[in-house]
Structure 1
Amino acid sequence: MRELTAEHPETIGGRRLLARLGAGGMGVVYLARGRGGQLEALKVIRAEHAADDRFRARFAREARLAARVRGRWVVRVTGSDTDAQAPWLATEFVPGPTLAEAVAGHGPLPLGSLLTLGQRTAEALADVHEAGLVHRDVKPGNIVLGQDGPHLIDFGIVRGGGATALTAPDAVLGTPGYLSPEQTRAYGDDVGPASDVFALGCVLVYAASARPPFGSGDPAAVLYRTVYEEPDTSGLDRMPAPARTAVVRCLAKDPEARPTAAELRDILDRARTRPDPRSALVEGTTSSGHEARTGPDSTAQGWLPLPVLRMVAAHATRALDPPLRTAAPATDTTAAEGTPAPSRRRILTIAGAAGATFAVGGAGALFLAARGGSDADPRRGPALHSIGLHAVGREQERGARLAVDAHNSRSDAPFRLALRTAHAGERAVSAARRLLADTSVCAVIGPTSATDVRAVMSLYGDAYTPMLLVSAPANAKDLSGNRALCVTRIGDDSLGLPLSVYLTQAHRSRRTAVIEDGAGGAPASELARMVRELPPGNGTTTRHTIAADATDFGPVVAEAVKTKPDAVVYAGTSPGRAASCARSLARADFEGARVSIEPVMRAEFLDAAAEAADGWVFAAPYSEPRSMTTQRARAFTTSYRGRFGAAPGRWSAEARDAVELVARTLDALGDGFDITPGQVADRLFRIPTDGVAKPLRFDSTGATHTLDPSNTAFLYGAADGRFRFLGRYDQVARPFERALPQG
């Protein structure tokens, strides 16, 4: 919940605005007080969407559809005005955490809470389906846990029978991990009430185990598992048998095999009010230390464990005491439709905001700031735009600086970028707030560390300001929950693709042995899974595991070598353990290909493996411009050397490409004036960019706007105590081989 500023109206549609709850691709959501004094959540559609007549018509239709839903556990639509200059829709406000927040903070729900959650959410879906609608985005983030029970929210992509939703045709709507198999294929006509039931089954598995039934990681891999693999329902073992069977049926691949929402509601209601006495022996206490309650008492005010009830109370307290407005309010947008509201950039100019050097970032940061006096006319000369950059080290800063210079040297540039280097030392959250307070900032590149990304992601997401991650990874949950998050690198859990391509086209492997290291976590298991699903040469793969606490790789290597593989994949992330694997392979006189992924590419691997490191090949998400032969890479290397007196370092070209992507997006938005961060976020994923390092293409219509991983990874070979750049994985045609030590 964030305070209102002078840019926000005092009232909309007769409702008094109290605070900002968040922002998304469609609009901004406010906490408001209705005409009867009740609290409401009021969504205002963004101007760029409101100007689209077709979007406005669809929004009007879907507002009418949502208003038809009646049910205790579905948030009720309390009003709307789809003809206003800024169309809006208001619903009941339910104070409380989402199921996602509660499980993330306190682990799986106790059995009584789980059954109540399932029964009442199924009842909500039954009400939605009875109204002729399909929700299509049932997930933990769209279920609010109130004091009285769970409430289903967010009808942003709801649709009625035979209608299209608020999105592009053939888009995959929803969130990976909670999509039905028919939704993953984007066949709109096949998406009916059964898809919502499938999603609810996924939600209940998550609530019971804190794990989605089809895992996490790369969105494409999650969707693949949803369609072709069986779910992990082990978390449901503590449920009464009839309830467990019903929830498992929800996850059937065939929509016809799933129960209806009403049937599921009735089954869970019987389990909730007449619990299986054996379940108490299984349940005991929850991970939070609360006794599991399954009888009628669990449906009263205490239906949630105490720690989650405290979260509910905290949300209610904040709603009753919202932050004060920081300045005088603007006029009611619905009362002054004939007069356009001042733009962000116009307000900036009137206020006399001037560019300055700030202390931002984690270990180091910079931001590109616009300059101008208090009496500056924003239409006098080219516009100026700001880009924030949270960078550890200097390479990303240098790459960004060269991109800014290249843009400003264009005689036809409709706007200019200015670079200001900031002092180090300020924490990431403070840096993000400072950048967001600067209304000229249209996008942010970084942060560079996963810790800082987690710290500031919600801040940029709530403000709907694009955050481009150049070197830090993000997972499917991050992407599905933040439409302004743009990841320009392939994830570690997707690096199995370039390895499979290399082993197929360069090494001609037909038999591959995967040594899966239990100490490698999710990236290791995803790599092993991907190589098995995409076997090199369309051949065979064998899987050989080593426990996380085991240190001797000899036995697992011997087991793998017995299969006479052409190649061995080390599926792990530890340089030291990879070195142990390399030494064991050398002692076994294995002469085939040996491959792994970038987290292993450290000096520790080279030092510990010694000569056994020679010949290993690694897939990595970053390029080496000085070793590339393209004209753009050569030009970048020449410019970099001329400016900084050294060869470009790691991630410098990728940062340069991120700035180019933002600049091309701004270019596509018009004359450069009055461009909002939301417009940049909406357009960013539709701008193909052939960068110095790699092509940037995004799934702009799908649920997670992910980077197309094709041709975005690079191969390196270990030789003579260093890692040699081999090229982009799709362009490496010959195997990398080195003589292997004996014994």
Structure 2
Amino acid sequence: MRSLRAEDPDALGGHRLLARLGAGGMGVVYLARTEAGALVALKMIRAEHAADPSFRARFRREVRLATGLTGRWVVPVTAADAEAREPWLASTFVPGPSLAEAVDGHGPLPTHTVITLGRLLARALAEVHAAGLVHRDVKPGNVLLALDGPRLIDFGIAQDGGATALTAPDAVIGTPGYLSPEQTRTGGGDVGPASDVFSLGCVLAYAATGRRPFGTGDPAAVLYRTVHEEPDLGGLDRLLPPPVRAAVTDCLAKDPGHRPTAAGLHQRLEAAADAPAAPTGRGDWLTPGVLRLVAEGSARALDPPPRLAASTPPERSGTDTAHPPSRRRLLTVVGSAAAVLAASGTGAAVLLTREDSTAGGTPRTLPTHTIGLQLDLTGPQKTLGTTQERGARLAVTVHNTRADARFKLALKTFDYRGETARAQETARRLTADPAVLAVIGPTTAAAVRAAAPLYTDASMPLVLVSLAPETVGLPDPDLSTVCSITASEMSRRMPALDYLTRVRPTRRTAVIEDRAAGETSWDIAGELRESPPDEGTATVHSVAANENDFRPAVDTALAARAQAVVYTGTSPIRAALCARALAAVGFVGPRMGFEPVMRPAFLKEAGEAAEGWLFEAPYTDPAATGTKASKAFTAAYRERYGEPPGRWAAEAYDAVGLLAGTLDSLGTGTGIEPGEVAERLFRTTHDGVAKRIRFLQGTHFLELVNMNFLYQVTDGAFRFLGRHDLVRGRKG
């Protein structure tokens, strides 16, 4: 929720505008109040889109269809003006988060919540279908979670049964991953109510497992799997009772005729529910984490931020806790957010011993707790593995020299050489060692996928330092002792949004989508287009995977009067091509990319064109941070290893600190088991050198706020600017 700007109207159609809920290329969504005092979400479309006759016809249809829906679990349209120069519509304001925000930020929903969600959404769809309508875009982002139950929103692409779609003949309407097979084949044209039931089945599977049943990746690949492959419902048999699991599975039948109707699905889920009555309105159907999101949304709605004066820049404080970002932008920050269950391991290399003295001066030997390191020290990731080992060793040394330490730490280090088979063998050795209580590593995603099940089977916590949760399939109920302490990939878009909103306000952003990066590039481009920096507009300009000439994309971007450019690819070489193309036309506005590009190859290939580029990264540079803790760490690291800390060294140091704090909370005894460490780990907070590590209360999910950093190319090197929300001034 953000302040109204000077150019925003005071009122619209008898509604007093209170704040901005969000904005994008299509228009602005306001929080508004009716003359009777009711809160509404008012969507106003930009005039340039309304000037398109086909768009206005589609908007009229949206208003007509949505106004006719009156079911309790469908958000009603309360007023609209489809003929205004900037057409608008108002609907009841729901302060709760979307299902996507809830699952990405707090993990899969418990069984009773999934059942309640399913039966009430099925009831909503039954009423929609009884009215002769098809929603056609049932997805987690179009489901809001309120205290008294879910709400189905956004009928912008719904249409009368038999109506002609107001889109290009081959356009796919809807969201890949939630589209039905028939919707995929026809481009969204000739589909019926059964298509919505299929989409609801995908939504319920996602709510229960945290995973899309047809996976992620390139949209075309997702659509292919939807049509030709069976859904991935792994773990669903353990999470839902048989009648509910069967109902969800039936929804995902390829043949529309084999799916239940929405009304039939509602009846089946009602019969399976222990208490099929509607929620009480007290939020008893929601988890504590989601309840907090509802409370925060309600509080912000009751105390909206004041309107900005004409000379006041739009909300520039990155640490404003009274009025945090809008719900969609918070999803980008936290989105996901979906980082993790904890883990354990073993190690064998460094054993530092020390004797302590009792009050009477009699020496006593402190108990020793062993942490394992499973790292690639001689293979393709040896530089990363060595840096992490050094950070962990230094943490052990510091702990063991503390006067108040109640136990000693030991490390057992195993080099899996970057080989998957060896990673499994190493995990077997670590889990078989009775001295090992937890493990840090591995350093490659393939090794984690191979070894993690062994750690979970042994109830051992496995802490991942440098791998984002999504890269190893987290969250996963089958890997209940595995956690990542780094930022999720979704949150890595936030620095670009923050910088181009707060530090260098940018109303027109060009996104260079490098299709060689596949899903990663496509996802980032979509997020920026939907939620542009500074609530302006973002245009996306694609470069084919087999194309090395970035000049056409750059030319079209600048023709759209771009003030900033964001490159969404992952290749340092291709990023350099983009940088050189921008330099060739003299573009000097902000140019931004993401951590995978931060390699020497980018600096070498781009040359002078690299100067000024900004990059997000999920790790800090303690030598440049300037805090007391980082200065002490850097000095100790330099003294021991003769050079400044490398990438992820501070994060590995903090991983040991997190485990030491967990062990300390379990007492000084020698009978601690790995399972106890795994359970206590998620209730431990550690203020580290790189960041604060804290799991959301009552969950296995890491609190991912402010865990991203900004770097800038200066004099041919990547220079650390700081935590993204603390960066100030004009930086290039």
Secondary structure of residue in 2 paired with 1:635: helix
Which residue does 1:671 correspond to in 2? 668
Contact 1:383 1:416 in 2 (8 A): yes
The answer to whether residue 536 in structure 2 is matched with residue 591 in structure 1 is no
Give the one of 705, 716, 719 matched to 2:714. Answer: 719
Alpha-carbon deviation of 1:401?
A: 1.0
Mapped to 2, the partners of 1:653 and 1:677 lie a distance apart of 24
Partner of 2:692: 695
- The 3 A distance-change label for structure 1 pair 564 and 386 is same
Q: How does 1:636-715 map to 2 (within 5 A)?
A: 636-702=633-699, 705-715=700-710
Change (3 A) 1:194 1:473: closer
CA distance in 2, matches of 1:187, 1:273: 29
Match of 1:733 in 2: 728
Aligned pair in 2 of structure 1 residues 369, 195: CA closer, same or farther (>3 Å)? farther
1:204 matched residue in structure 2 = none
Q: Given the superposition, is the C-alpha separation of residues 564 and 441 from structure 1 closer, same or farther in structure 2, using an over 3 Å criterion? A: same
Distance in 2 (alpha carbons) for counterparts of 1:186 and 1:368: 42
1:370–1:384 contact (8 Å) kept in structure 2: no
* Counterparts of 1:613 and 1:270, CA distance in 2: 51
Q: Distance in 2 between matches of 1:727 and 1:274?
A: 57
Q: Give the Cα–Cα distance (whole angstroms) in 2 for the partners of residues 547 and 494 of structure 1.
A: 26
| Deviation for aligned residue 1:494 | 2.5
Question: Following the alignment from structure 2 to structure 1, what is the Cα–Cα distance between the partners of residues 245 and 457?
Answer: 35
Q: Is the 8 A contact 1:243 1:267 kept in 2?
A: no
Name the CA distance, whole Å, in 2 between partners of 1:709 and 1:195. Answer: 29
TM-score computed with the length of structure 1 as normaliser: 0.53
Structure 1 residues 256-655: aligned runs within 5 Å: 381-392=365-376, 393=382, 394-421=386-413, 427-475=422-470, 477-481=473-477, 482-655=479-652
Kept in 2, the 8 Å contact 1:180–1:198? The answer is: no
CA–CA distance in 2 between the matches of 1:182 and 1:462? 26
**Change beyond 3 A, Cα 1:267–1:604:** closer
Are residues 1:195 and 2:192 paired?
Answer: no
CA deviations on 1:169-207 (whole Å, 9 max, x unpaired) are xx99xxx879889998989997644437979x9xxxxxx
The letter for the 2-side match of 1:389 is L
> Aligned in 2, Cα 1:635/1:234: closer, same or farther, shift over 3 Å?
same
For residues 616-654 of structure 1, the C-alpha deviation after alignment (integer angstroms, 9 at most, x for no partner) is 000011111111100000001111112122211111111
Q: Distance in 2 between matches of 1:532 and 1:225?
A: 25
Cα 1:726–1:264, aligned 2, differ >3 Å: closer, same or farther? closer
Q: How has the CA–CA distance of structure 1 residues 673 and 366 changed in structure 2, closer, same or farther, with 3 Å as cutoff?
A: closer
TM-score scaled by length of structure 2: 0.54
Q: Structure 1 residues 262 and 650 mapped into 2: Cα distance closer, same or farther (>3 Å)?
A: closer
Taking the aligned partners of 1:184 and 1:226, their CA distance within structure 2 comes to 20
Secondary structure of 2:696's counterpart equals coil
Kindly provide the CA deviation profile for residues 376-426 of structure 1, in whole angstroms up to 9, marking residues without a partner as x.
xxx974221111112233211111111111111122222111235556658
CA distance in 1, matches of 2:249, 2:414: 60
Q: Distance in 2 between matches of 1:712 and 1:266?
A: 38
CA distance in 2, matches of 1:225, 1:579: 46
Q: Which amino acid aligns with 1:464?
A: S
- Tell me how far apart the structure 1 counterparts of residues 152 and 450 of structure 2 sit (CA, whole Å): 30
What is the identity, as a one-letter code, of the residue corresponding to 1:653? A
Residues 464 and 483 in structure 2, CA contact (< 8 A), matched pair in contact too = yes
**In structure 2, C-alpha distance between the alignment counterparts of 1:213 and 1:544, rounded to whole Å:** 28
Give the whole-Å Cα distance in 2 for the aligned partners of 1:225 and 1:533: 21
| C-alpha displacement of 1:581 | 1.0
Displacement after TM superposition at 1:444 (Å): 0.6
Counterpart selection for 1:247 from 175, 198, 201: 198
RMSD between aligned alpha carbons? 4.5
* Preserved CA contact (<8 Å) 1:596 1:618: yes
What are the Cα deviations for residues 485-533 of structure 1, in whole angstroms up to 9, with x where unaligned? 1111113442111121122222122221111111112322232233334
| 2:181 paired residue among 228, 236, 245 | 236
What CA deviation, in whole Å up to 9, does each residue of 1:77-123 have, x standing for no partner? xxxxxxxxxxxxxxxxxxxxxxxxxxxxxxxxxxxxxxxxxxxxxxx
SS of residue matched to 2:704: coil
Q: Provide the C-alpha distance between the structure 1 equivalents of 2:151 and 2:574, rounded to a whole number of angstroms.
A: 29
Which residue identity is paired with 2:198?
A: V
What are the ranges of 5 or more consecutive residues in structure 2 without an aligned counterpart? 1-95, 125-136, 142-149, 156-173, 186-190, 205-242, 260-344, 355-362, 377-381
Change (3 A) 1:228 1:451: farther
Deviations 1:673-722 (A, max 9, x none): 322212211221221211111121222434xx333222212111113322
Farther-moved stretch of structure 1 (443-452 vs 469-478):
469-478
How far is 1:231 from its partner?
4.2
Question: How many Å separate the matches in 1 of 2:476 and 2:687?
Answer: 25
Partners of 1:530 and 1:658 lie apart in 2 by: 31
CA distances 1:347-377 after superposition (whole Å, capped 9, x unpaired) = xxxxxxxxxxxxx99xxx85566999xxxxx
Deviation at 1:274, TM superposition (A): 7.6
Alignment of 1:106-121 (within 5 A): none
The DSSP-based 3-state class of the residue aligned with 2:663 is helix
SS at match of 1:646: coil
Q: Is the 8 A contact 1:368 1:386 kept in 2?
A: no
Deviation by residue 1:5-58 (Cα, 9 ceiling, x = unmatched) = xxxxxxxxxxxxxxxxxxxxxxxxxxxxxxxxxxxxxxxxxxxxxxxxxxxxxx
Aligned-pair distance for 1:567? 1.2
User: Is the contact between residue 506 and residue 733 of structure 1 (CA under 8 Å) also seen in structure 2?
Assistant: yes
Distance change >3 Å, CA 530–CA 227, structure 1 → 2: farther
1:463–1:213 CA distance, 2 compared to 1 (3 A): farther
Contact 1:197 1:250 (C-alpha < 8 Å) held by counterparts: no
Identity %: 41
C-alpha separation in 1, matches of 2:603 and 2:256? 62
Task: Please tell me the residue identity of whatever aligns with 2:726.
Answer: Q
Aligned length: 450
The one-letter amino acid of 1:195's match is G
Alpha-carbon separation, structure 2, partners of 1:633 and 1:461 = 33
Pair 534,671 (structure 1): closer, same or farther in 2 beyond 3 Å: farther
1:225: how far off?
Answer: 14
Contact persistence 2:615–2:712 (CA under 8 A): yes
CA separation in 2, counterparts of 1:479 and 1:182?
A: 10
> 1:181 touches 1:226 (CA, 8 Å); kept in 2?
no
Comparing 412-421 and 640-649, the one that deviates more:
412-421
Q: Is the 8 A contact 2:121 2:152 kept in 1?
A: no
Seen in structure 2, the aligned counterparts of structure 1 residues 518 and 186 have a Cα distance that, compared at 3 Å, is same
Q: Structure 1 residues 586, 423: CA separation in 2 closer, same or farther (over 3 Å shift)?
A: closer
Query: What is the CA-CA distance between 1:665 and the residue it aligns to?
Result: 0.7
Shift in alpha-carbon separation, 1:183–1:670, aligned structure 2, 3 A: closer
Is the contact between residue 566 and residue 593 of structure 2 (CA under 8 Å) also seen in structure 1?
yes
Look up the equivalent residue of 2:457 and give its one-letter code.
Answer: D
Separation in structure 2 between the aligned mates of residue 577 and residue 719 of structure 1, nearest angstrom: 20
SS in 2 for 1:735: coil
Q: Distance between the aligned counterparts of 1:396 and 1:180, measured in 2?
A: 31
Asked whether the 8 Å contact 2:370–2:412 carries over to 1, the reply is no
The 1:736/1:273 distance shift into structure 2, 3 A limit, reads closer
Contact 1:432 1:459 in 2 (8 A): yes
